[in-house]
Chain A
Amino acid sequence: MTAEFDAVVVGAGHNGLILGAYLAKSGLSVLVCENRWEVGGSMDTRELFPGFKFNLHATYNVVHGLNPPVYRDLELEKFGLRWKPCTGWGVVFGDNRALFYYPELKHTLKLVERFSQNDARLIERLFSKENIEKYYQLARTLFYTAPHELENPASEAGRIYKTTEGYERFPFDSTMMEAAEENFESPEVQTWLMRIVEASMMEPSESSAWTLMWINSLYLNLGIAVGGTHSIAHVLARVIQYYGGMIIERDPAVEILIENERAVGVRLKSGKTVRARKLVASNLNPSLTLELIGEENVPSEIVKKVKNYRYRYTSHGSIAIALKRKPSWKASEFTQDVNSAMGLSIGWESPENFVRMYEAHRKGEIYKDDNGFMAIEAVSFLNEVEPTLAPPGYHVITPAWPYFPNTRYAGEKFIEYMENNRQELLEWAIESIMDKMQDMKRDDIIGATIYLPTDVEKKNPNMYGGDINVGTFEGQSMWHRPFPEWGKYRAYPVENLYLCGPSSHSGGGIKFSNGYLCYKTIKHDLGLGGV
Chain B
Amino acid sequence: MNSPDVIIIGGGPNGLTSGAYLAKAGLDVLLLESRHEIGGGLAGEEVTTTGLIHNPHALYFLLVDYAPPYFDFNQELAPFIKHIYPEVQISMVRSDGKSLTLFSDPEKTAKSIEKFSRSDSETYRKMYGEYLKIVEDIIIPYTFAPPIPPVEQMDLLSKTETGQNFTEITEMTPREIVEENFEDELVKALFLYVGTHPILRYDEPLGYLFPLYFIVSHRMRIVEGGTHRLASALAKIIIRNGGMIHEASEVAEIIVEDGVAKGVRLKDGRKIMAKKAILSTVDPPQTFLKLIGEDKIDMDLSNIKNWEWEEFSFFSVHADLTEPPVYRSDSSDPNRALITLIGYDSSEEYITEMDAVLQGRFPERPACEVTCPTVFDPTQAYGQPGMHTLRITSYAPFELDGDAEKWDTFKNEAMDRCLSVLKDYTENMNQDSIRYSYPQSPLDIERRIPSMVKGSIKHGAYIPFQMGYMRPNTECSGYRTPIKNLYVGGAGVYPGGWVSFGPGYNSANAILEDLGVEKWFSEPEFIKRAKENGYL
Q: Which residue of A lies closest to B440 (CB)?
A: A50
The 5 A-B pairs of least Cβ separation, nearest first, read A227-B248, A51-B447, A50-B444, A50-B448, A455-B50
Is A391 touching B51 in the complex (CB atoms < 8 A)?
no
Residues of A within 8 A of B (CB): 35-38, 45-53, 78-80, 82, 226-228, 230-231, 234, 238, 241-242, 244, 246-250, 388-389, 391, 446, 451, 455-456, 458-459
Set A48, A80, A391, A451: member contacting B244, Cβ < 8 A = A80
Q: Are A228 and B229 closer than 8 Å at their CB atoms?
A: no
- Where the two chains meet, the residues of B that have a C-beta atom closer than 8 Å to any C-beta of A are 1, 34-37, 44-47, 49-51, 53, 56, 79-80, 225-226, 228-229, 232, 236, 239-240, 242, 244-250, 268, 379, 382-384, 408, 440, 444-445, 447-448
Contact A47 B45, beta carbon cutoff 8 Å = yes
Taking a contact as CB atoms under 8 Å apart, the answer to whether B1 and A459 are in contact is no
B37: A residues at CB distance < 8 A: 45, 47, 230
Asked if B448 contacts A51 (CB within 8 A), the reply is: yes
Q: Which residue of A lies closest to B226 (CB)?
A: A37
Provide a sorted-by-A list of 23 A–B residue pairs whose CB atoms are within 8 angstroms.
Answer: A36-B383, A37-B225, A37-B382, A38-B232, A45-B36, A45-B37, A46-B45, A48-B47, A49-B444, A50-B56, A50-B444, A78-B1, A80-B247, A226-B268, A227-B247, A238-B244, A241-B239, A247-B236, A248-B80, A250-B225, A455-B50, A458-B51, A459-B50
Q: In whole angstroms, what is the CA distance A52 to B1 when docked?
A: 30
**B228 touching A231, Cβ below 8 Å:** no
Bound: A38/B38 CA distance, A:
12
Please tell me which one of the listed residues B51, B240, B247, B384 contacts residue A234 in the complex, with CB atoms under 8 A apart: B247
Distance in Å from the Cβ of A13 to the closest Cβ of chain B?
15
A37 in contact with B444 given A45-B36, A227-B247, A459-B51 (CB within 8 Å): no
Min CB gap B393→A, angstroms: 15
Given contacts A37-B226, A80-B247, contact A455 B49 (CB under 8 A): yes
Q: How far is the CA of A226 from the CA of B35 in the complex (A)?
A: 11
Q: How far is the CB of A122 from chain B (nearest CB, A)?
A: 39
Q: In the complex, A456→B46 CA distance in Å?
A: 13
Q: Closest A residue to B448 by CB, please name it.
A: A50
Per the bound structure, the CA–CA distance linking A162 and B501 in Å amounts to 63
CB distance from A297 to the nearest CB of B (A): 27
Q: Is A249 in contact with B36, judged by CB distance below 8 angstroms?
A: no
Give B28 Cβ to nearest chain A Cβ, in Å: 12
Contact B79 A46 (CB under 8 A): no
Q: How far is the CB of A33 from chain B (nearest CB, A)?
A: 11
Query: Contact partner of A242 among B225, B240, B383, CB < 8 A?
Result: B240
The docked-state distance in angstroms from the alpha carbon of A35 to that of B383 is 9
A388 pairs with B36, CB closer than 8 A = yes
Bound complex: CA of A226 vs CA of B246, how far in Å? 11
Q: Is the CB of A242 within 8 A of B242?
A: yes
**Cα(A453)–Cα(B140), bound, Å:** 50
Point out the residue from B35, B44, B240, B246 that lies within 8 Å of A241, measured CB to CB: B240
Cβ–Cβ < 8 Å partners of B268 in chain A:
226
- Residues in B whose Cβ lies below 8 Å from that of A249: 80, 225, 229, 232
Contact flag A238-B447 (CB < 8 Å), given A78-B1, A227-B36, A451-B50: no
Does B448 contact A250, Cβ atoms closer than 8 Å?
Answer: no
On chain B, the residues within 8 Å of A244 by CB distance are 240
Q: With a CB–CB cut-off of 8 A, which chain B residues contact A37?
A: 44, 53, 225-226, 228-229, 382
- Give the docked Cα–Cα distance between A46 and B46 (Å): 8
Shortest CB-to-CB span from B451 to chain A, Å, is: 13
Q: Which of A35, A388, A391 contacts B248 (CB 8 A)?
A: A388
Residue of B36, B250, B440 with highest tally of chain A CB at under 10 A: B36
**Which residues of the partner chain A approach B232 to less than 8 Å between Cβ atoms?**
38, 249
B45 CB contacts on chain A under 8 angstroms: 46-48
Chain A nearest CB: distance from B447 CB in Å? Answer: 3
Knowing A47-B45, A50-B444, say if A250 contacts B36 (CB, 8 Å). no
Which partner residue on chain B sits nearest A245 by CB separation? B240
Cβ of A451: which chain B residues have Cβ within 8 Å of it?
A: 50
CA distance A242 to B237 in the complex (A): 9
Chain B nearest Cβ from A262, distance in angstroms:
26
The residues of B that contact A227 with a CB separation of less than 8 Å are 36, 247-249
Closest to A36 in B: B382
Alpha-carbon distance A451/B47, docked complex (angstroms): 11
Q: How far is the CB of B217 from chain A (nearest CB, A)?
A: 27
A250 proximity list for chain B (CB < 8 A): 225, 229, 379, 382
Residue ID in chain A nearest B82 by CB atoms: A270
**By the criterion CB–CB under 8 Å, are B383 and A459 in contact?**
yes
How far, in angstroms, from A178 to B80 measured CA to CA in the complex? Answer: 54
Report chain A residues within 8 Å CB of B250.
388
A227-B248, A249-B232 given; 16 more Cβ-contact pairs under 8 Å:
A36-B383, A37-B382, A46-B47, A47-B45, A49-B444, A50-B440, A50-B448, A80-B249, A226-B248, A230-B36, A234-B245, A234-B247, A241-B236, A247-B236, A249-B225, A455-B50
Q: Once the chains are docked, how many angstroms separate the CA of A244 from the CA of B236?
A: 10
